[in-house]
Structures are given as C-alpha cells and as structure tokens.
Structure 1
C-alpha cells in the first residue's frame, strides 16, 4: 500500500522545525506522541510546530514529545524515521534563524537546567523505565480488550455461538502470555538480552509449574503475573551481566545463557512467584476495598489528583497496577475513575472559551484541541490552555474530582466500572468498559461520571477560574505585531 501523502507531508513539515535530521538522535512513539531525542532543544521552532494542523501539542520531558493523537502517530513515525535516515540535514540548518547567539545559548542553558532539575531524579528515571516496559504493550491490550468486550456482548445476546469460542481465544491469548512480553521488554530496558528475559518470565505461565511446591503450597501457572515477570527479568539481567564479567570468553556463548536462565529460573520458582503473587493479590484486594469502602470520597481524591500526577510524571507508577488488575479481574477499576480528570479538563476549557469571548487566540486553540479532549487526548488542552493560565488547571482538577466521586459512589453501591485495557480515556474508553453488572449499567455510570466532570469543571472554572485582573488582561484579542499601532515619533 502506498503511503498516505498527508502522512508524509506531516513528517516532512515536522523535521525542519525540530532542527533537521542531524538534530534527531532517536525516534519512537507511544499511543499519542512522537517521541524524539534531540541534540539541541534550542533549535526547535516550537510555535511553528504547534501551528501545524496535525500537531495537537508538545511536551518537553526526557524526550521531546509531539502530540499527534492515536492512529496518526503510528502512521507518521515510520515516515519521519525514513526522512531522518535519508536526509543529511544537520542541526545547523536552523542556525541562521533570526535569533542571536546569546539568545540561543541562554535558551539552551535554561532548557537543559530545567529538564535536569525536573526529570533526572532516580525515582522518575525508574518510573520512566517502567513506562518503557509497559507502553509498547498497550496496542495489544486495547485490541484484545475490545475483542473481549465484543465476545461478551455476543455471549449475552446468544448470537453467533460458533464464533464466540474463537473470539475468546483471540482475546485471551495475549493476556495468557503477557508475562513473557513483560520479561522481554524488561530485559531490553535494563540492558540485558531480551530473549533471555522472556525465557525466564515464561516459567511463570508454564502449565507444568503446578507440579512444584514452594513455601508449603503448590504454585499455579500465572502466579505473580506481570510483577513476577518484571522481577524475574531484572534478576536475569543482573545474572547475565555478572556472567559476562566472569565467564571466559571462549565459554560465554554456552555458559552465560545457561546460568542466566538456570539461576534466575530457580529463584523465580522458589521465591519470586510466591512473593509477587502475594503482592498482586494485595493490590487487587486494596483496589476493591478502596472503592467499595471509600466510595465517593476515594473516587473524589483519585479523580482530583490524577492531573497533578500526570504533570509530575508519577502516573507511570500506576501502569503495572492497572495491568495486574486486568490480569486478575479482566478489568481495572481504577482507570475509569482516573479518566474523569480528562472530563474536568474538557469542562474547564469550555468555560475558558465562554469567559474569553474576545480572545481569538485562546479560543482558536480550544476549538482545535477540544475534539481530541473528548476522545481522551488531554495534552493539547493541558499544555495549551489550562496549565499556562494557572487557575483553570486547579478548577479542572475539581471537575475531575466530582466525576471520580460519581463513579466511586456507584462502586460503593456494588456497581463496579472497569476498563479491559489501559491507554484510552474519555469517549474512547466506551468500547473497553466492563464491570460486574450489565453493559448498559456500566456504560451509564461511566457516561454519567463524564457528564458530571464536564459540568463541574465548567462551573468551577467559570466561577473561580479567573481573577478580575486576569479577565481584563485576557479579554482582548492579541494584535499582530505588524498591525499594532505605532507610538508617535518624538521630536
């Protein structure tokens, strides 16, 4: 199939605005963002980049992240990689831009200092590694989750009985082996041989594990789940690195993989599986108790704090928890509540739009970003609207808190609302919803939470989102520099 010209055009438009091919050190993507390693961030033309029709926003983190949205990013990334590989452009391509050397140096130094202070803590680096392990699994989780939902719907309706077993196998196949993929990605992320990490993690899901007794109890296939696979693969990496240092080079090809799998495998069977199984069970029990006992209060806190967690990068710590809950219960009860933060963000943006009727710049940003916000892509609204304005970010959190409280209240009444995959939120989460009641009730509770989040975010922002000086300053349309009235010359 020939590449879409629009996709290639988007990639071609982005490349010079990030400093050219010579400024790009790495290219990757997640669900919504093109993630670039750049040599010199001062060469990025950020305003021009944001102005591109396909670009929904930008985020500066350990990589420079360009928000393109789900689907689009998966198509643009290979085109961008091809352009980088084929173009000899250098980071000096934009050096002739109308900026002084002093401005470039100051800006570059400030950006580097800010990034170093914000993103180089050991804890954040660890969370980023966790994210790098699990984020590549999200497309499979989404696909299998939707198929599982379709299978459940057909089962309830009694339709296509011959197809139902096939759909069940397709949906469950990946989840039954997810530990292997986690082990593979973990070893890759921590600097080991990926296939050895996958081989050790595969022990956890091997059916024959049921014949083994550890700590006085029979082990069961899958015990410990993704947490056990994560620990087993990390252990395998350290064993492998030890072997590389001490095993003679002539015997390395035979002894290193053998000792890595053997030592890590024995520790996994007679230690990690039991411990990780207990931790996984505790996570599931805590999540269920939190929502059944805490109800609206727990949902209020979770929904209200999620946007700040995203800002701090701490939301990445929740990825293994979501995956563990999906592995145990077939859905995570935390994600629908946390998704309410996006609803509060949408409501807040709508209020900003209404409160600033004459600010054409901000209103244009909201118009372009709001559709993505409804679909759960919140970065354009966060970084383009609420966070720069300050107070609307706080009121957006309030909207998310009320939406989370609504969903948490129904959890306390026994109506669990869960997601069969991680990644999407907003309206995009509807196909992935599951729970302990009927599909109709689950959708109604989640939809009700979104509505509450929209309304609460709107009202909180409309009433409390602006001070009078802010309104006076922002309630005018920006005047382009070339048309701005000139001050009369003094004589």
Structure 2
C-alpha cells in the first residue's frame, strides 16, 4: 500500500466516512473537502496522520499536505469514494422512480462525471474557476445596483423624476467601484490559488488599472489603463505566484522579506507591461467582437448550441470558467450578451421539472424533490434539479 493510499484511508475515516463527504478538490498544497456535517470531523486524528501539515476543520475542510503528495492523496480519496459508491449502488434494490432511487442514480452519475473529468486540462480549468467563483456575489450585487442606477437615470433624464439626478451618482459609485478594481481582486485570488501571496497578486493586478500606465510606451504602442483587463491580471498573478515560489527557494531566510516581494513585483511587473497587457488586450477585443458576431450572425443556431452545451458544463463544474469571459464583456460593454443565452439551459431544467411534477401526480416522492429544488433553480442553481430529477430520468434532461 502506498503512502498516499494509507493517508487517504485514514482521512476517509476521520472525515466522518464516505456519506459525510460531498466533494474533494485540491490546489497546490492542500485538500479542500466539502462535508455535510462538520461535527463528524475528527480533527485530532487528521492532525496525527503522517505527513499532514495542518488541518482547518469546517464545512469546507482544508488539509495541508504539500505539493506533489496532495495530488496523489486527492486522487486516492476520490477513488475510495467511487469504490464505496459503486458497492452501495450494487447492494440497493430498485423500486421505480422513488426519491431514493433518483438520488442514488444522480449521485452515481455525478461521481462518474467527476472521475471522467479528472484530467490535467479540466483540473486546470477548475482552478481558474476557483479564482472567479468568490467574485460572483460582488458581480451580482454591483450589477444589480448598476441596473437600478440605469433605471433611475432614465427616469431623471426623461423628466419624469428630475429630483433623481442627485441620487444617481451615489449608485454609480457603488456599482462602478468594484469593476474599476476587478483586476486587483482577480490578481489576489489567482495568486492564492496558485500558491502565492494574495497581496502580491493584487499588486501586479493593480499595474493594469494604474493611471500611470498611460505614460508607458511598449514596442511603439502607448498602453492604456485597464488594457488586458481580467485576462491580463489573471496571467500576471499566476506568473507572480511562480516567480515568488522560485525566489523563496533561494532567498536567505533573513533577507526573504525584502528579496522575495521585490523580485516578484519587478519580474512580474515588467512581464505584465511588455507582454501580458498587449497580448491580453488583443485577446479581450477578440472575445468581445467574437461574441457579438456570433449572436449577430448565427442566430438561433448559436443560441441552441450555447444553451445546449451549458448544462453539461454545469454537471462538471466547468461553467464557472466562463466567468472570465463574462467579466471581459462587462468591462468592455457594461453587460454580457452571453449569459442570458446560456441561462436558458437552466430555464429548460425548470420547465422540464414542472412538467414532470404535473405528469407524475401519484409519485409523491419525486414531486417532493421537485418542490424543494425548484426555488434554487429559479435562483440560478441548477444542480439539485439536474442530479435529483431530470438527469436520472434521462429524457427530461435531453429535452431541457
């Protein structure tokens, strides 16, 4: 038995058993394990496990193992969970379209999808999504405030409520402040995700939006503040994380506090100004023009493909990787033209679930699942309907 398998088995027990584990993810140094009941976690047993450096219990339990080993343990832990799920599934009788059967089928499908998508490319995409997911509440809040401000501005300009002219600047500040510094927040999250210091990632992200950038000429081109946007900040912060780790590997301990941040900012900053901002700037323009062209010329075909592809992305969690594209479009236009089209996939799930609710009038267990999952679906969270209702039944998922 390898060390990683031994560690995974000990962690499986100390985390409260397979039925207490919701999901398993990892970054460069730590496991991130979602659990149903944090009270079932045996933190001392985890700490006493060989090669475990630290444990932070909670609903999102984090276990520090260090680079290299964390990948092996994560894979072994997922394999152990998959094996347990198959054993339980094989021993359970089928009883028609009951709530228990649908839950079992949905969980099995989810686990198979997770195993199938455990590839280096898709894991890298998940790490990118981890950077942007924490930003979603701010994107939603500031976006709604911007929408309210737009309505108030129209009322004021149209003469219906001229007194609103004194209020709209307040809403404009609250909605635009976050978007003006979006590159900084992306830089901080990216540096953290890739094993760097968040504040240093924020520093290189701030270079992109700094007004003084307008005084910089690179290869005959005058840079503009914000050029490259979130894509430039993402690349700059990831680079900064690797430079920082490299600098820490050789900097003397007594001088690390001075050498590491200076070298990190200097190298990453120059690379950002000379390469990342020009390249990311062109890529951002291409994304904006490409999305506009696609929906302007491909018509209903584009909508069918985008909406149909969205739910499989949701199943694997890769839909969050679209957030950088949405953020880029918001930076350019003030809105994203893709999200309303993609959201129709979720709307299809709601429609299919409502249809099932009325078709299966005597199946109280399925109707109970639908009633509990529909509110989340209306709020944009489609996984309960996908894994609890439409996907286990098959055809409703395809029709959605």
TM over 0.5: yes
SS of corresponding position for 2:165 = coil
Q: Please say if 1:391 is aligned against 2:395.
A: yes
The C-alpha deviation readout for 1:141-199, integer Å capped at 9, x for no partner, is 11111111111111100041111112111111110001001001100000011111111
Aligned position for 2:129: 131
1:11-26 alignment runs, 5 A limit:
none
SS of corresponding position for 1:182 = helix
Work out whether residues 117 and 316 of structure 2, in 8 Å CA contact, stay in contact via their aligned partners in 1. Answer: no
Work out whether residues 61 and 119 of structure 1, in 8 Å CA contact, stay in contact via their aligned partners in 2. Answer: no
Alignment TM-score, normalising by the size of structure 1: 0.61
Q: CA deviation at 1:39?
A: 3.7
The count of corresponding residues between Structure 1 and Structure 2 is 325
Q: Please say if 1:42 is aligned against 2:9.
A: no
Unaligned runs of 5+ in 2: 1-9, 26-31, 47-79, 88-107
The C-alpha deviation readout for 1:2-60, integer Å capped at 9, x for no partner, is xxxxxxxxxxxxxxxxxxxx9799xxxxxxxxxxxx8465243x9xxxxxxxxxxxx65
Residue of 68, 84, 89 corresponding to 1:107: 84
Work out whether residues 209 and 221 of structure 1, in 8 Å CA contact, stay in contact via their aligned partners in 2. Answer: yes
Q: Please say if 1:215 is aligned against 2:219.
A: yes
Q: 1:90 to 1:394 in 2, by over 3 A?
A: farther
Unaligned runs of 5+ in 1: 1-21, 26-37, 47-58, 68-79, 92-102, 397-491
SS of corresponding position for 1:161 = helix
Work out whether residues 180 and 201 of structure 1, in 8 Å CA contact, stay in contact via their aligned partners in 2. Answer: yes
Q: 1:254 to 1:106 in 2, by over 3 A?
A: closer
Q: Distance in 1 between matches of 2:175 and 2:282?
A: 26
Work out whether residues 184 and 196 of structure 1, in 8 Å CA contact, stay in contact via their aligned partners in 2. Answer: yes
Farther off after superposition, 307-316 or 189-198 = 307-316
Q: CA deviation at 1:329?
A: 0.9
Aligned position for 2:61: none
Work out whether residues 191 and 237 of structure 1, in 8 Å CA contact, stay in contact via their aligned partners in 2. Answer: yes
Q: 1:108 to 1:365 in 2, by over 3 A?
A: closer
Q: CA deviation at 1:306?
A: 1.0
Aligned position for 1:305: 309
SS of corresponding position for 1:339 = helix
Q: CA deviation at 1:309?
A: 1.9
Work out whether residues 124 and 313 of structure 1, in 8 Å CA contact, stay in contact via their aligned partners in 2. Answer: no
Aligned-residue RMSD, C-alpha: 3.0
Q: Please say if 1:194 is aligned against 2:192.
A: no
Q: Distance in 1 between matches of 2:377 and 2:111?
A: 31
Residue of 376, 380, 388 corresponding to 1:376: 380
Alignment TM-score, normalising by the size of structure 2: 0.74
The C-alpha deviation readout for 1:423-471, integer Å capped at 9, x for no partner, is xxxxxxxxxxxxxxxxxxxxxxxxxxxxxxxxxxxxxxxxxxxxxxxxx
The C-alpha deviation readout for 1:321-341, integer Å capped at 9, x for no partner, is 111111111111111111111
Q: 1:104 to 1:370 in 2, by over 3 A?
A: closer
The C-alpha deviation readout for 1:274-299, integer Å capped at 9, x for no partner, is 00000011000100000011111101
